[in-house]
Amino acid sequence: MESEAKAMRKIKWGVMGTAFICERSTFPGMLQAENCEMYAIAGRNMEKAERFKETYGFQKAYGSYEKLLADPKVEAVYIPLPNTMHYEWTIRALKSGKHVLCEKPLAPTEAQAEESKPEEPRKDFGFVAVSIGQGMNDIFRELGVDYLIEGGQTMNPSTEDMLNAIEQVNAETVFILPNNKNIILAATQAQSLVEDKNVVIIPTTTVPQGISAIIGFDPEADAEENEDNMKDIIECVKTGEVTYAVRDTSINGITIKVDDIMGIDDDGIKKVGQDVEKVTLELLEEMVDEDSELISIYYGEDTTKEQAEALLEKVEETYGDCDVQLEYGGQPIYYFLLSVE
């Protein structure tokens, strides 16, 4: 360990100011640090800067802070200036590409302190997705979604919500997964208002489509190739929903009573009954065909794990040629969300 410490590269430090706190508190520690090189000192008074240079072994002395920041050999700067000058010179140092150690307070307001944070370089791709339920949120995060917007039957995000989400994603290209046909318009309006990023909308109309789309994302491909690929993928995803009726009605010749269990696919209500599992199995029978390979089941907040696993067992027995996966979605209102690919 001792040989590693001796071999540690030293960081060239520049000190902006000749305040008393430097001599009393900071310089003793810097002189003892094995990876610290006291390289440059700057002050308003050149004579005082020269005195500090001779006393503490700096290689350079400058009569202005600007000249110190212009020195390409300075890697990090220490700012012990008066409090009112911290914000200005922290920003200028960061824009000069220097690491910064600043005495407190960093800035007089919280907003200015936030602005002082150095910007991270943008990555190539980022994702915004509209989601419902903690389980679905966790799935999207695990798949690499950068920003989630809470959605739902009565919670359609606005254009402003979309703009805020896009702003939060530090990427050159931001893919949006609306996951609801009613949200695509807000996403499109937001897309037209963004000028500093490439915003691409994948027109997913359901959460399972959104999950399949991001699974198909290829980080080695460019934005246009990924857009085409993800759009092709969602065309192959059939989605089903199992929920309950909130009022008496009649749709397409089907009579529905309040609290009836409904099985809904991409074309509308297909099954109505009193038993959640029975309606779910009947709905899957409508959705699965000879070309189907994968069945995904996401169970909601009102469905127990035991109920979900019982359904899984029956689906696996019925569709032995398909891969079947079960995930906790945690979505409200829907006992099950289904996808068939």
Instruction: Name which of 243, 231, 91 is nearest 153 in CA terms.
Output: 243
What is the tens place of the pLDDT at every residue in 167-183?
A: 989 999 999 999 999 99
What does pTM read for this prediction? 0.67
Please give the C-alpha separations between residue 263 and each of 129, 138, 267, in angstroms, as whole numbers.
25, 25, 11
pLDDT at 62: 94
Q: Mean per-residue pLDDT for 59-70?
A: 94
What is the tens place of the pLDDT at every residue in 249-281?
A: 888 788 889 999 999 999 999 999 999 999 999
Q: Which residues contact 24 (CB under 8 A, 6 or more apart)?
A: none
Most confident residue range from 38-47, 131-140, 222-231: 222-231
Ranges 32-36, 200-204, 223-227: which has the least confidence: 32-36
> What is the DSSP track for 33-70?
-TTEEEEEEE-SSHHHHHHHHHHHT-SEEESSHHHHHH
62 vs 80: CA distance, rounded Å:
16
- Do 269 and 248 touch, CB atoms closer than 8 A? no
Ranges 116-125, 220-229, 241-250, 310-319: which has the least confidence: 116-125
Q: Quickly state the pLDDT bin for 1 (edges 50, 70, 90).
A: very low
**Domains, the chain, ranges and CATH?**
10-115 (3.40.50.720), 123-235 (3.40.50.510), 238-340 (3.30.1180.10)
CA atoms within 13 Å, Cβ hemisphere of 84 = 0
